[in-house]
Amino acid sequence: MKVQKSIEIGVLPEKIWPFLVEPEKILKWCITLEKFEYTGKQRSGVGTLFYFEEKIPGQLMKLNFKATEWVENERLAFSMTSGNYAKKYDQRWTVQTIPSGSKFTFTEDFEFPYGILGKVLGLFARLSSQATVGKMLARLKSLAEA
């Protein structure tokens, strides 16, 4: 299941970046997250390890990730290294400078286990995820522009 959404934010990327890398700020706009913490000594760059707990209908996913891309004020990407209720989980967040400020793009690629049942679940989950991502981006915009 792949979801991608973008939003224009009326500030420069430098103002958005802390909301992508500081745990307390991530939790303010990522409304599905209950917990976010770095799990190693490294706090930036490719290879940074972190853990988060994410609410999905009826479940709490507990997931470990590794940063696969990290370019300050431009992009952050990460892939699941282990977790429950997911076979694959990748996210990529990009920030581009535009005349009115920035364009933030959220991309999520998620795959349930469970074979055919997982594929069917993914079809239904995609609609819910699109709506949730829209709410998250609106919240990020509000926070960054405040």
The tens digit of pLDDT for each residue in 34-45 reads 999 999 999 999
Q: How many helices (H) and strands (E) does the chain have?
A: 4, 7
Residue 59 is part of which domain span? 2-145
The pLDDT value recorded for residue 116 is 81
Distance CA 132, CA 43 (A): 27
Q: Which amino acid is at 63?
A: L
Q: Which residues of the chain have pLDDT under 50?
A: none
The pLDDT value recorded for residue 87 is 93
The pLDDT value recorded for residue 103 is 98
Count up the domains in the chain and report the number.
1
CATH number of domain containing 57: 3.30.530.20
Distance CA 36, CA 63 (A): 10
The pLDDT value recorded for residue 125 is 79
